[in-house]
Amino acid sequence: MDDFLFRPTENRRRGFFENEKQPLCFDDGTIGPINGHKGDRKDSLPASALEQWKLSIRTQLCTEAVAAIIVRDLRFLSQVDYDPKLELRIRELHRLAVEAADWGETSRCCEILGVFASDRGKVRKADSWYLKSIDALLSMEKVNRWSLERLLTRYEKFLNSADKSEGWLSFKLDILMRAAFKNKDFYDCRYLALKMYKHGEYEKAERSYLKLIEEGFTVASNYCHLVRLRITADRIEEAEQALDEAVASGDVRSLYVMARIHFFNVVFRFIKGTNAREDLRKLNALLENSSAYLQWEIDSMLGCIQNRVTEKQYALLCALGTALQSPSCRSVLDENLLWVLSVSEDEETGMSAGASGQTQQRRRPPRNEEKEC
């Protein structure tokens, strides 16, 4: 027996199923420890169970081994075809995993059963197993983002094949957001909130920003994101309240946040028809420092207020939105800013939303949502 266990390479060539009395061998142990949640669960894989399975040598021992293999490492699932006895064994492992509160293994068992149901055309059952698999992953103390992404990719393919993909992106963002908050990965939360915003999921994005603020994560910056969202949703008064909260938070330390606050002050003053010169001068001074620039998504918000301001004001806001992205974009602002600083107060405040004026070319700011802060 010792010779059998310590010479896995030879045994792999011979095969382990010629004699059922021999135990199924792992490279450093038998199959026993992996079943029933006993002992070390990190043994290496059985040496030839998958080969025997492909040859239709599907004894009870082989079935248990294959079940153990695919539950532990889903990469081997593609090498296994459906078998009723295998499904029963996976269900048993699922029961044991639930009893042991092993949510990682519970999720993998559910995913396998979802694949089996999908392959057999049982769409409703497959959908149920996939959702259970996602819930099990989200029950882990720390959610493995890679495993979740992989599972969601498989679930998406299933939904596409079953013509049930409507609302998929919203569902995916919800799941990823739940995982990000559970892991306290607040940078990921902010990135996902931006995705929701760009997808038009304003209520969900707003809840996420408010939760980030509650967690104390870059409070003033997230209030600025909230201002942008509420302007886009045509909730101007609430947007102004959020801007006041940003200023009152005491978290306005970063120059780029100061620049955004002054930018939004200019937006509100243009909408109301009041004097924005002071904020523009402060912006001009801030932009002398490279720390005042940072990537953000502002173009769609500006499109929503185009009819609320004059053509010249709108051109200036577009130039400002572009210039705040990077020092290399500053050149698009200079001519407009000099114009605003040179006009009289009457000219600045007296123009109505329908007033005529030479329209500046609108330049879209470069986009890189992953770097937005």
Output the pLDDT for position 347.
46
Return the exposure string of 201-221: e unless at least 16 CB atoms fall within 10 Å of the residue's CB, then b.
Answer: beebbbebbebbbeeebbbbb
Average pLDDT by stretches of 10, the chain with 373 residues: 32 37 40 42 57 88 92 92 96 96 96 97 97 98 95 96 94 97 97 96 97 95 97 97 94 90 95 90 88 92 95 90 88 69 45 38 44 57
Q: Which residues contact 69 (CB under 8 A, 6 or more apart)?
A: 45, 46, 49, 50, 76
Ordered by start, the domain boundaries in the chain are: 273-373
Output the pLDDT for position 47.
54
CA-angle at 50, arms to 49 and 53, nearest 5°: 90
pLDDT in tens, 310-355: 988 999 999 999 889 988 888 878 777 655 554 344 444 434 333 3
Contact assessment for residue 26 and residue 49, using Cβ atoms and an 8 Å cutoff: no
pTM above 0.85, yes or no: no
Contact assessment for residue 96 and residue 103, using Cβ atoms and an 8 Å cutoff: no
* CA atoms within a 13 Å half-sphere pointing along the CA-CB vector of 262: 22
Token pair of 41 as six digits: 């669960």
Residue 144, SS3? coil
pLDDT in tens, 208-251: 999 999 999 999 999 999 999 999 999 999 999 999 999 999 88
Contact assessment for residue 252 and residue 258, using Cβ atoms and an 8 Å cutoff: yes
Contact assessment for residue 107 and residue 143, using Cβ atoms and an 8 Å cutoff: no
Please identify which residue in the block is written with the tokens 């500006």: 302
- The count of other CB atoms within 10 Å of the CB of residue 184 is 11
Q: Which residues contact 26 (CB under 8 A, 6 or more apart)?
A: 8, 43, 44, 45, 46, 47
Contact assessment for residue 248 and residue 213, using Cβ atoms and an 8 Å cutoff: no
Burial class (CB in 10 A: 0-12, 13-18, 19+), 87: middle
Output the pLDDT for position 44.
41
Token pair of 2 as six digits: 């010792």
Rounded CA separation 171/130 (Å): 13
- The count of other CB atoms within 10 Å of the CB of residue 239 is 23
**Which stretches of the chain are DSSP H helices?**
2-6, 8-14, 49-54, 60-72, 84-99, 103-119, 123-138, 145-161, 168-182, 186-198, 202-214, 219-232, 236-248, 255-272, 277-286, 299-304, 311-323, 331-342, 345-350
Name the nearest CA neighbour of 49 among 105, 89, 96, 91.
89
Rounded CA separation 318/99 (Å): 58
Q: Which residues contact 329 (CB under 8 A, 6 or more apart)?
A: 293, 322, 323, 365, 366
Name the nearest CA neighbour of 119 among 91, 80, 148.
80
Name the nearest CA neighbour of 351 among 338, 339, 361, 363.
339
- Beta-sheet pairing, 25-26 with 29-30: antiparallel
Residue 30, SS3? strand
